[in-house]
Amino acid sequence: MSIRKLLKPYYFRAKQALLKTWLAFVPEVDIPKSERVLIIAPHPDDEILGTGGSLIRFLDNNTRVCVAYLTDGEKSLKELDPAEVAEKRIKISDAVLGNLKIGPENVVRFHFPDGGVPRIGSQGFADAEECLMKVVTDVKPDSILVTHPLETWPFDHVAAFELTCSVIKKLQMKEVSVFGYWVWLPYSLPLRDFWHIDWKNTVRISVRRQMALKKNLMEAYLAPLAPNGKPWSGVLPGFMLAMFDYPYEIMTRIGFDESRQDVRM
């Protein structure tokens, strides 16, 4: 075994401890006051991992919550038939949202290829943008929650952010609040790059009272096993899952200029 592999667990433990210490200085705020919230999830399970507690709080406040899944997550288990994985992950996510009383009228699935959500400037971006623009126009959200711009892996997460910002700019939606939520960021972002986070506009949202239900919803995603013995959502790293024991969800408010043509991060 290489020295790097030997040191990896110690690196992640140190990273986790430092990050939790750092987050203790991030201001705690209430969830945004909204009548309609749109949560954009690159894959089925991101909406619960990253915003599950906040989602529950929105519903408790009688906020209309709509969830838009960009992909079906069919590449989570590359050794299995993608169509089978997609079908199962859709079924699981339907059950999860059903437990929250979020009906099909508030769920949108784009069925973009897993790992292939178009990036800005790439082929297919304009078509994807048009699809999301229609949803945003129909829902008319006060708040949009999308994966954080520094979630540079998986690539669909940053693609989701690029699509969202492009739509907001084109529609010039001056009243909507946009928040970047964390899923993979604590795991995939190198510690040295945490300085690039816009800490001035980053907040903690307490989900302490919602943790039990959030954990149950996470388990609904992570417990069902495929024929190969792995979760349909894929095998997520232990350090990543450990961060979801933290009784807060972290979000960064994304700033735009007055014309909504430039993003400030």
Render pLDDT for 38-92 as a digit per residue (tens, 0 to 9). 999 999 999 999 999 999 999 999 999 999 999 999 999 999 999 999 999 999 9
DSSP state of 2: -
87: which residues sit within 8 A by CB, 6+ positions away?
A: none
Q: What is the 3-state secondary structure (H, E, C) of 12-46?
A: HHHHHHHHHHHHCCCCEECCCCCCEEEEEECCCCH
CB atoms within 10 A of CB 166: 18
Which pLDDT band holds residue 259 (cuts at 50, 70, 90)? very low
Which residues make Cβ contacts (< 8 Å) with residue 93, sequence separation at least 6?
Answer: 44, 45, 69, 221
**Amino acid found at 124:** G
* Statement: residue 264 has pLDDT above 80: no
Q: What is the pLDDT of residues 5-20, one digit of tens each?
A: 888 888 998 999 999 9
Cα separation, 54 vs 42, whole angstroms: 17
- pLDDT value of position 7: 83
Residue 129 has what pLDDT?
Answer: 98
* Helix-helix angle 211-222:46-60, to 10 degrees: 140
Instruction: Report CA-CA distances (Å) from 153 to 129, 133, 147, 259.
Output: 21, 24, 11, 30
The predicted pLDDT at position 1 comes to 64
Check whether 133 has a pLDDT greater than 70: yes
Domain-wise residue ranges, the chain: 8-257
Per-residue pLDDT tens over the stretch 156-181: 999 999 999 999 999 999 889 999 99
Q: What's the length of the chain?
A: 265
Give the integer Cα–Cα distance in Å for 41 and 71: 8
Residue 262, pLDDT above cutoff 60: no
- The three-class DSSP label of residue 129 is helix
The pLDDT confidence band at residue 242, using thresholds 50, 70 and 90, is very high
Give mean pLDDT, residues 111-137: 97
Residue 243 CA to its chain's centroid (Å): 14
**pLDDT at res. 257:** 60
Q: Indicate the CATH number for domain 8-257.
A: 3.40.50.10320
Our CA dihedral for 163, 165, 166, 168, rounded to 10 degrees, sits at 120
Contacts of 17 (CB under 8 A, 6+ apart): none
Q: What percent of the chain has pLDDT over 70?
A: 96
Contact 173, 135 (CB under 8 A): no
For residue 80, the model assigns a pLDDT of 98
263 has a pLDDT exceeding 60: no
